[in-house]
């Protein structure tokens, strides 16, 4: 019985001690649209010089001026779509000879690529020679017959022209009467062979792609830019590209395309930069580092990015008041440029703010609200009276 009574007294003493403990500070409820709710949980901070030195507090002033922002990404060299040409045949036949037999070969405009034997071509040439012979033998006094003969000649010439037979070849055929059984296809542009789809002896059909050529006198560098950086990228913006293959050298170009679509998975958009490649050093497939530079307005208010406390819900800076206290103030931020960040509202040029150790100042501001402060931290003992920096 005595033991039970002793346990009862001990439990009562613990309950009384718990009741005497300081009650927790009230929770400030944020209402929709209330931007001051976060500030209500923070109080101005008063630090002595010793305390500022202990935690490394420094100050800066809100500046105005032009900000230059550089976006960096990795891109890949690709052949420009405007310089791609497919070589096809318009007649059925067989590849009798390849003049350009390897992928990657360099060709000049007019160089022969391949010769195709085509029974269709032979029949069309024979029709032209027959029409020419008929036109020459018709009685000139028979006006209608002469007109009909010339119509046949014109039709036979057009048919060959539609098959890419040149006017010189047609004229030579009419003069010599010698039928050419093969059709030689020439390179339509100066460039390199990106793809070769035929071999000697292969049967080909009209419309079949035989070669793909690319004019690489200029190339594109295609890179992906993150969604948050797209505001700094626009058509015509200057760009600089560096390649590991050519250390110490940079290529200057400009943005020619910004994709209107953001990839839903990577949250990036494709950006293309046009680069001069007269020397042929840049080859499709190479990787390069892309630097895109843009300038903000000339009178932009900005502060060091480390001066901003980003809580996830709001952005705060600590402003030095006239009485020396460090007061929290909510700000609206713009674009970031290097170690500086644009301030859209909340600060005025010339305001003096905390530049470093602001997270410790913010912690003291929150702790000061519930009365605990940083008294337990070395160098942060609560002063006997109010102290100002």
With tokens 């943005």, the residue in question is 255
Q: What does the pLDDT read at residue 170?
A: 87
Q: Where are the domains of the chain?
A: 37-66+298-384, 70-81+216-295, 121-179
**22 or 266, greater pLDDT:** 266
Q: What is the pLDDT of residue 33?
A: 38
Full DSSP string of 62-122: -EEE--EEEEEEEEEEE--GGGEEEEE-SS-EEEEEES--STT-EE-TT-EEEEEE-HHHH
For residue 6, pLDDT beyond 60: no
- Across the range 214-225, mean pLDDT stands at 94
Higher pLDDT, 19 or 168: 168
Six-digit token string for 296: 């903000």
Strand order in the sheet with 93-98: 182-186, 112-117, 93-98, 203-204
Q: Give the confidence band of 319 by pLDDT, cuts at 50, 70, 90.
A: very high
CA 185 to chain centre: 39
Mean pLDDT of 220-233: 91
- DSSP letters, 225-275, are EEGGGGGG--TT-EEEEEETTSTT-EEEEEEEEE-S---TTT-EEEEEEEE
Percentage of the chain with pLDDT > 70?
Answer: 83
How high is the pLDDT of residue 14? 39
Tokens representing 281 are 């050093």
272 versus 40: the higher-pLDDT residue is: 272
Average pLDDT, the chain: 82
Give the DSSP letter string of 298-351.
Answer: SSEEEEEGGG-EE-SS-EEEEEE-TTS-EEEEEEEEEEEETTEEEEEES--TT-
pLDDT at 372: 53
pLDDT band at 146 (very low <50, low <70, confident <90, very high): confident
Evaluate whether 81 touches 284 at the Cβ level (below 8 Å): no
Q: In terms of pLDDT, which residue wins out, 15 or 283?
A: 283
State residue 94's pLDDT score: 95
pLDDT at 10 over 70: no
Residue 1: its pLDDT value, please? 42
Reply yes or no on whether the pLDDT at 26 is more than 60: no
Rounded distance, CA 123 to CA 342, Å? 75
Least reliable range by pLDDT among 5-9, 123-127, 285-289, 305-309: 5-9
Q: Which CATH architecture has domain 37-66+298-384?
A: Beta Barrel (2.40)
* pLDDT for the residue 32: 38
- Would 37-66+298-384 and 70-81+216-295 be classified into the same CATH topology? no
pLDDT at 35 over 60: no
| Stretch 265-290: mean pLDDT | 94
Per-residue pLDDT at 297: 67
Specify the pLDDT at position 385.
42
> Lowest mean pLDDT: which of 206-220, 284-298, 314-328?
284-298
CATH number of this structure's domain 70-81+216-295, picked from the four choices 2.40.30.170, 2.40.50.140, 1.10.580.10, 2.60.320.10: 2.40.30.170
Residue 210 pLDDT class (50, 70, 90 cuts): very high
Mean pLDDT of 168-197: 89
pLDDT at 50 over 80: yes
Q: How high is the pLDDT of residue 335?
A: 79
Question: Rounded distance, CA 30 to CA 26, Å?
Answer: 13
373 falls in which pLDDT band (50, 70, 90)? low
Residue 161: HSE in the Cβ half-sphere, 13 Å Cα cutoff:
9
Q: Which residue did the predictor score with more confidence, 31 or 78?
A: 78
Give the pLDDT confidence score for residue 250 in this predicted structure. Answer: 95
Reading the block at residue 103, the tokens are 């992928």
Ranking 12-26, 158-172, 355-369 by mean pLDDT, the lowest is 12-26
Higher-confidence position of 195 and 169? 195
Residue 253, pLDDT > 80, answer yes
Instruction: State the pTM of this model.
Output: 0.64
Give the position of tokens 């931290």: 377
């Amino acid at each position: 019985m005595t033991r039970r009574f002793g346990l009862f007294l001990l439990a009562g003493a613990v309950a009384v001690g718990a009741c005497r403990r300081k009650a927790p500070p009230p929770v400030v409820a944020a209402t929709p649209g209330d931007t001051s709710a976060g500030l209500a949980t923070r109080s101005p901070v008063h630090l002595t010089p010793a305390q500022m030195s202990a935690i490394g507090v420094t100050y800066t002033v809100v500046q105005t001026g032009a900000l230059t922002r550089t976006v960096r990404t990795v891109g890949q060299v690709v052949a420009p779509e405007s310089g791609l040409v497919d070589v096809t045949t318009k007649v059925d036949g067989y590849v009798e000879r390849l003049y350009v037999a390897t992928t990657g070969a360099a060709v000049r405009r007019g160089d022969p690529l391949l010769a195709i034997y085509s029974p269709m071509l032979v029949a069309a040439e024979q029709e032209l020679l027959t029409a020419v012979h008929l036109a020459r033998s018709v009685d000139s006094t028979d006006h209608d017959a002469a007109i009909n003969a010339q119509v046949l000649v014109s039709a036979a010439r057009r048919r060959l022209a539609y098959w890419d037979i040149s006017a010189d070849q047609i004229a030579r055929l009419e003069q010599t009467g010698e039928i050419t059984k093969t059709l030689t296809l020439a390179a339509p542009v100066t460039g390199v062979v990106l793809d070769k789809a035929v071999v000697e002896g292969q049967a080909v059909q009209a419309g079949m792609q035989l070669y793909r050529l690319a004019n690489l006198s200029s190339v594109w560098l295609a890179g992906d830019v993150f969604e948050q950086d797209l505001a700094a990228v626009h058509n015509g913006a200057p760009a600089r590209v560096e390649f590991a293959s050519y250390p110490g050298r940079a290529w200057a170009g400009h943005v020619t395309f910004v994709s209107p679509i953001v990839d839903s998975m990577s949250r990036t958009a494709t950006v293309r930069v046009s680069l001069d490649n007269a020397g042929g050093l840049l080859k499709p497939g190479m990787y390069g580092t892309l630097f895109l530079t843009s300038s903000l307005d000339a009178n932009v208010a900005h502060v060091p990015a480390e001066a901003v406390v980003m809580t996830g819900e709001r952005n705060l800076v600590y402003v030095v008041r006239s009485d020396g206290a460090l007061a929290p103030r909510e700000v609206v931020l713009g674009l970031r440029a290097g170690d500086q960040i644009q301030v859209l509202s909340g600060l005025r040029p010339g305001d003096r703010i905390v530049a470093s150790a602001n997270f410790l100042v913010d912690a003291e501001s929150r702790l000061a609200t519930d009365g605990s402060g940083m008294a337990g931290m070395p160098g942060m003992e609560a002063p006997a009276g109010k102290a100002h920096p």
